[in-house]
Structure 1
């Protein structure tokens, strides 16, 4: 074989396959197969695939199965999920074999398991609690419950009966029997009877078993168990926090008082026990309930964990496990109450009823007072509170609104027990605006101010000066105020005032061209108008209305407008000085320059220009 391989290897690899001998072709194929199988042959003989592609096809046909298997194995190594599935399928068997042959596997895994357990407990301590509950639960519950409940009940009963005649007799009995006073009190007063016992599945809230006394009041056990589960879930989700601060947790209600009924709950990992009790049970009853619940968990642990709605196993064992919890204890003596002991609570109840009735009546009176205030225009109530035995009503009040004190008596309230805190403001209510107009303008008897749907309307007759005063005041009213209509007022003029006003306003003082002083022939006009002004001022003061005289200077259109405006102001100032020199009160004189803007006769002729070089007068009343 080696000789033939050597012979075949000496031939030229570049020869045509058709030119070779069949034996040589067969030798070449065998050499290529040998290269695929033996690495030594592959190292010593070069590949002939380039020379003959049929060799590659033959190799693929011969090793196709192995190549597919290697590809599948490589895919499992490359895909983490497939690799994990492959390892996981053999890992349990590998652990079992390794643990049986060698103890080192447990030693290696112990630290990892310890750390995982610690992390699980820190994350959810309730898991470990549920695991240890059957062992530690009864001992811890019995020690803590009996100690705390016994101490509290002993203290409660000692305080309750320590200073009574019956308490003295019970102290003697305790001294004679060698027991404590609290034990004697508890023996005489602990009257109780367990009416119902419910075993409820914790996760689903379904009733597993129920026992009751023969004479107990019957209710739907399924409905009761559903309500108990709902209450437990509500309290657990709303008021109890877990170790990491989240709502929920494993704790729940363990005691609930409903009138003369007492509900005690004992909760376990998979179920909880609820007992309906009449009276005041001793702490030992809770220990009995805990023992019964522990027995249920020990006997039905697997059934409780895999519970899917079948309650038959629990109902069969209910009489055996739950019936011993239906215990009762009757008191040896019945308490007898004297009449005066009944009178005390009745008197307290009557006093409480009288107090509540007085508060209700007082509140109704206050509400009536507040409603009366809110009906008044100009008053806005923002708050009512009771402080130091007094009612304090606060809000906004217009100074012209009705005084709040005037409404207290109408509401049957004691004025000494009601006070107000009012901030001033200006109301825009039509009634308040009407009062403000009457107080500010003081209309004469001939003027009537009335309120209608559109606002305030003035009717009648009034002097011009009052009408001017009213119009000036209306301009100062804020936006949004009711509309005040003065169109129906008739103007009643004083004859002397009209004569003097018309005489003053008809006077024109003329000037020469570009001269600020009046012409030489204007002195008589100045004397006459000054006399009329003095008389007008005296008339206005007698009748009590202000008067104002405007002195308006004018210029012709010759020259620049700015120069003409300054000249017109100068002419008005000169005339005012001359009137003051003639005894006219300077306070009633006002100056205005119109320049060429208000010509008496428009035009460019000398006559028209001379008529515009003047000073005119205007008379007004009001502020």
Structure 2
């Protein structure tokens, strides 16, 4: 018995151990699947129990790394600590990144937007930044411009009243230049002998060009002397100029003139004999600017080696400009015929222009006199006269007035905008075109409006009054009080005859009986005659067929029956040759009885169709 119990307990223990191993193995397989498939790891929780020993060993092994990661995480989470960490390495990062041009490309859009936002917010800040640079440059440009202007004005006044001045005025008109420019071009005698390009920081000569017949000392020595003079002037006379980097612009010694133009890295010095025009200084400035644009890097990095600037000489050579004095010639008496011929041609041309202007003024006056035309501008463009303004569509055509002024129509272009004029003459034309008055109506223009006299039908008078209500405020007055209303006797006879006709019906019947056929024939004939008469008188006519019913029965049924009776009569009249466009139908039901009452005779009188004649559309 004990042996059996021992065997049973042994089997039970082995079964429990086996089950525990199976469970452990299933958990390991599940954990392996969770490690392989991340989606399964999110959906199925781990079945392995935590091992305290493994957690303790993990803490011992990675404690230092965990503390470092926590410290680093705090730096990222705290904005102040993160900013301190970035600021510690940012200068070194910019130093390294500045060697790569991609940094400038990446930062440029943000800097541009920040600059634009700053200027929009406070433009005064940008003005304060640019003032120390732009102020002296603007003052220098204004001073040079004033000097050039005074020189040109002095020469122009000197030669304005001479025969030579007259010849130069003709040249200025022929070439499209100003008289002062032509005088300065002919009187300025100068010659640029030398041009020096000198490095501004070191004072070394970068390039030198000279005329073939020019004499000079060693260019290097001249360059050093020019630099020394510039430094002496800056240090001795103008502290402000020295602080701002300004120097000598010009220096004259007798007939010798020295002009200097300074740039960021170099300055250009020109040795000139005589009195040069402003164009020489302009050439120097443009040349210096182009040299800086093309050789900016060699100029900034210059250390005494001029090999990189070997091609600068060709850029400086166009600055060697010159102009000699005009040779005095003795003219033969026959040459006096040339200016006389020119004067005669000029007089003829002036006379033609005067005649042309007079004709154009006459044409403009004729246009202004026409009602419905307003001239706003008259200009001469590209050899043609362009006349623009406002024109009412009913006004006279402007081209029709050209023949009176002897102006070539091909030399005049009109640009007219349409508008509605309120002049009485234009209003008279508009009334005649819109209302189409009959021959018996006479429209005449008065000083302050239009007056209508004669006789007209009531229809035409109503049409005229309705149109006058559409005229804009301030329009001239149209007087219709003198018109007399006239009705044609034949029209009145037919009008009264048709409205007196009645067609009767049986009870609850929509079609008239055979006894009403003669009445229908008579009505149809009268309607055809009425149409002819209305057309002769010049106004349309309309006949409304009104259906009626007695008061017996339901009201809706009686109304439908009255409309049906009117429709039947209209179809019967159309079959008798009456124009259907002049016929209209209306159902009155029992609402318009001819004889109110309930007797048979009264009911029979109300079962009818009547006619109403009206004029108008």
TM-score with structure 1 setting the length = 0.45
Larger-gyration structure (1/2): 1
